[in-house]
Each structure stands twice: as C-alpha cells, then as structure tokens.
Amino acid sequence: MIYRFKIKMGTLVALITFVMTGLLAPVVLADMTAQEILKKADEARGGNIGGLEWEMIIDTVEKGQPQQRTLQVTLRGYDALVEFLAPANAKGMKFLIVDRNMWFIKPDLSRPVPISARQKLAGGAASGDIAATNYGADYQVTNESNEVFNGEPCYLYDLSAIEKRATYDRIKYWISKERLVGLKAEFYTVSGKLFKTALFVYENRLHIEGQSRPFISKMTIFSALIKDDVTIMTYRKPVLKKVPDSMFHLNLPVKQPGEKDNR
C-alpha cells in the first residue's frame, strides 16, 4: 500500500507540474506588452544581443539572372561591420554601421561614404537588412490582432517607424505566439503601398543567458513590384563572441589605396 501511494504521489506531482507549466506560460506571455514581444522576436534575428558574428550568403534572381554574394557580419548592439568575402570583384568592400548611421567602405576609396540603410544592397535586400533587427526600438506597434500563419497562431502587429533612420516606414509583422519569432513581414511605403514581403526560417540555435534560443537561418524576400525577383539570405555559423570597440571605429576598416591585404 505504501509503495502504491508513493507512485500515485509521484504521478500527482508530475501532473501538477505539467498543468502549472501549461498555465503559467500563457500568464508570462499575457504579462508581456506588444513592444516586449517585439524585442524578444528581435533576439532571434540578432537584435538585443551583445556580440555576435555570422556568415551570410545572398542569392538573388533579378530579371532572370542569378547572382551570389558572401558576407561576414560582426555586430554588437546597434553597431555592425559587414565585409564582402565573395565574389572576387566585391571582396574587401565593407559596410560600417554605428548607432544606425551607415558608411560604405571600399579599398580604392580614400574615405568612407555615408549611405542610407534603405539603399539597395542586393536584389530585394536593403543595406539595413543585413545586420541586426531592432524593431522593438525603431518601431511602435500601432495596431495588433491575431492571425494564423502556416498553421501557427501569431500576433499580427502593424509597425510604424519612430526612428527616422529606420530601414522601412511601415511593416506588418507576424510573430509566432509559441516560439516568439517573426515568421513573415510585409514592407510598405509611406503611402501604404506594399513593395516586398519576407519569410523567415529559424534552424540555427544560440545559447543566450543559459537558454537555447532559435536563431534565423534564412530570410526570403519577394518583390511585390517585379514578380520573379527573389532574394534568399542564408545565415551560417552564428556564434556569440566579444566584439571590441575598435571594430567600429570609422577610420580603422579603411584600407588606403595601394595598401596590400595581408590576411
């Protein structure tokens, strides 16, 4: 009798734990504001993380012509250094982003050239797409609703830019309620015209604050203006790392004309 009682108590404890876990999880989410959920989703795309580095492959099809570029992205907070590794004619080109300000750096240029985060980089990808996502800081939620996307219940947020240097004016953003990652985004002009759509996949993992979190592995961008223009951004080998201040000094990444690359 005592033995059976112990089994029943163990089962009861397990059952209570299971039920309480199921009950508490929605409460935690219910306590989060839309802006907090947005910031949590940013983590899975590089936002709100200390130091991080990954390799990015950008495949584009523009007017039926395929192209591929390989980049290395190193970031810390709002700062990032993006270096082109391939093709050969682009190797050594860089983008430096410091507090949302962006510069283009090329070996044969004597000084960095200021550019906009909205400037086209490759295919449907703007310069601001290649670094971390900080929607939680750059946008405010103006409307929220619930919708199912690809079988997943989602928060659907209308986002309006509050930072003038943000990459887009307005975004509709689907965030998985269960995984707290962005699944789909629609990007609109100031006038409300849709000009591209992005889908996100999360097959990478990062250990953040002792927890294993999904991290973006692919972003596919479809043009709403040109039917067959597609851009696929593949994120490879993401790793957390300490990134020094010197990485983001404006004068350091510039190679003077005639200087050899000894790496």
Q: What is the pLDDT of residues 172-186, one digit of tens each?
A: 999 999 999 999 999
The rounded mean pLDDT for the chain is 82
The confidence score (pLDDT) of residue 12 equals: 37
Class of domain 38-248: mainly beta
Strand partners, 185: 173, 198
The confidence score (pLDDT) of residue 136 equals: 92
The confidence score (pLDDT) of residue 91 equals: 92
Structure-model confidence comparison of residues 239 and 249, the more confident one:
239
pLDDT classification of 228: cutoffs 50, 70, 90 = confident
Mean pLDDT value of segment 238-260: 71
Pair 220, 199: CB distance under 8 Å: yes
Structure-model confidence comparison of residues 9 and 169, the more confident one:
169
- Say whether pLDDT at 234 is over 70: yes
**Measured in whole angstroms, how far is the alpha carbon of residue 113 from the centre of its chain?**
24
At 188, list the tokens. 């609109």
Q: Whole-model pTM?
A: 0.81
Nearest to 77 by CA among 40, 43, 51, 38: 51
Structure-model confidence comparison of residues 154 and 28, the more confident one:
154
What Å distances lie between residue 227 and 62, 63, 68, 218, 232, CA to CA? Answer: 10, 9, 19, 20, 15
User: Token pair 């682009």 is at which residue?
Assistant: 90
Nearest to 211 by CA among 179, 253, 164, 168: 179
Indicate the DSSP class of residue 133: -
Q: How many residues does the chain have?
A: 263
At 132, list the tokens. 């971390």
The confidence score (pLDDT) of residue 132 equals: 65
Q: Report the distance separating Cα 22 and Cα 152, nearest Å.
A: 18
In percent, how much of the chain has pLDDT > 90?
A: 50
Q: Report the distance separating Cα 112 and Cα 108, nearest Å.
A: 10
